[in-house]
Amino acid sequence: MVTPDLSVRLGSLRLRNPVLTASGTFGYGLEFLPFLSLEEIGGIVVKGLSPKPRKGNPPERIVETPSGMLNAIGLQNVGVDAFLAEKLPELRRHDTAVVANVFGETIPEYVEVCAKLDAAEGIAAIELNVSCPNVEAGGMAFGADAASLARVTRACRDATRLPLWVKLSPNVTDIRETARAAEAEGADAVSLVNTYVGMVVDVERRRPVLANGCGGLSGPAIRPLAVWATWQVSRAVAIPVVGMGGIASGRDAVEFLLAGASAVQVGTASFVHPDASVRIAREIGSWLAGHGLASVREIVGTLRTGKEERR
């Protein structure tokens, strides 16, 4: 049996396989070294980086939900300077793509972080977090409005030569509008979806469980919604799409690839099984081999909805 070729391209960026880890679920990658080899996945997307360190929101910040979890971490991170000085040198020792997720409360803050990353060695791409629902400023405030998203994308495009991805929020009326805005302003790819806004209530205290009140819902519960969004966006833009949302197996990942994603990100599954991303990459290969396919690229965007036969 021929081993399938799992390599994919996202614009100018080549990945050994289509599996990356999602920002906010995999630390800076180094924390997971006892459990897996970073060389076995296509890449990692590190925790969102801001100009200065952030403590994030007070506890409680995470609560389990049926088939998922609700989080309100609040983009806690060491700051871009500490990342470049302390984390990136260690990451450069590993042969995997490092994608830096960027967050700001204002457009100049996004630009500041992008410019510093642009000057660093070892960054494969930048992902703009314009979709976090757990902060009071920035994040989803930009991603929920196509015009605002366009402005931050253009400013960051002008600040870096690196491949630029824009991470889209599903908490919008039509996610295709924000995807088109990102593409029009120079994004090289879009990644989707970030978490859905939700709330869990402690009925005895009559209060939200999370100190923030609301949080972002992730995990298998959102996968059908995320696959649908991926299908919509992949047909609306010409740039590559990176799909995510509840992926826990190779078959889950194949759903996103068939729906039009060129690559996927694994998030919440890593909390349950730290080596989930490696296992999922292997399972994609096994699925392809079992179907007699030589390359993962053969299935990207090949979803048949049934409408084709009725035309």
- What is the three-state SS of 85-109? HHHHHHHCCCCCEEEEEECCCCHHH
- Residue 2 has a pLDDT of 79
What's the rounded Cα separation, in Å, for the pair 264 and 230? 10
Question: What is the C-alpha separation between 188 and 182, in angstroms, rounded?
Answer: 9
Q: What is the pLDDT of residue 310?
A: 46
CA 99/CA 46 separation, integer angstroms: 6
Per-residue pLDDT at 307: 64
Residue 163: predicted pLDDT: 98
Cα 162 to Cα 70, 117, 181, distances in angstroms: 32, 9, 19
Strand segments, DSSP code E, in 161-253 are: 164-167, 189-192, 196-198, 201-202, 207-208, 215-218, 241-244
Q: From CA 36, how far away is CA 51, in angstroms rounded?
A: 30
Q: Taking the domains of the chain in order of start, what are their residue ranges? A: 8-56+71-196+217-310
pLDDT of residue 137: 47
Look up residue 175 and give its two tokens.
Answer: 């996610």
214 is catalytic: no
Q: List per-residue pLDDT tens for the chain, 311 residues long.
A: 679 999 999 999 999 999 999 999 999 999 999 999 999 999 999 999 999 999 999 999 999 999 999 999 999 999 999 999 999 999 999 999 999 999 999 999 999 999 999 999 999 999 999 976 654 545 556 778 899 999 999 999 999 999 999 999 999 999 999 999 999 999 999 999 999 999 999 999 999 999 999 999 999 999 999 999 999 999 999 999 999 999 999 999 999 999 999 999 999 999 999 999 999 999 999 999 999 999 999 999 999 987 654 44
Q: Are strands 164-167 and 189-192 parallel, antiparallel or unpaired?
A: parallel
Q: Residue 26's pLDDT is what?
A: 97
Q: Does an H or E element contain 49, and which? A: none
Can you tell me the distance from the alpha carbon of 46 to that of 54, in angstroms, rounded to the nearest whole number? Answer: 15
From the list 114, 132, 156, 214, the catalytic residue is 132
Give the separation between CA 90 and CA 38, rounded to whole angstroms.
Answer: 12
Write out the E strands in the chain. 8-10, 13-15, 19-21, 43-45, 62-65, 68-71, 97-102, 125-129, 164-167, 189-192, 196-198, 201-202, 207-208, 215-218, 241-244, 263-266
Tokens of 195: 């978490």
Task: Check residue 308 and give its pLDDT.
Answer: 54
Architecture per CATH, domain 8-56+71-196+217-310, reads as Alpha-Beta Barrel (3.20)
pLDDT of residue 309: 47
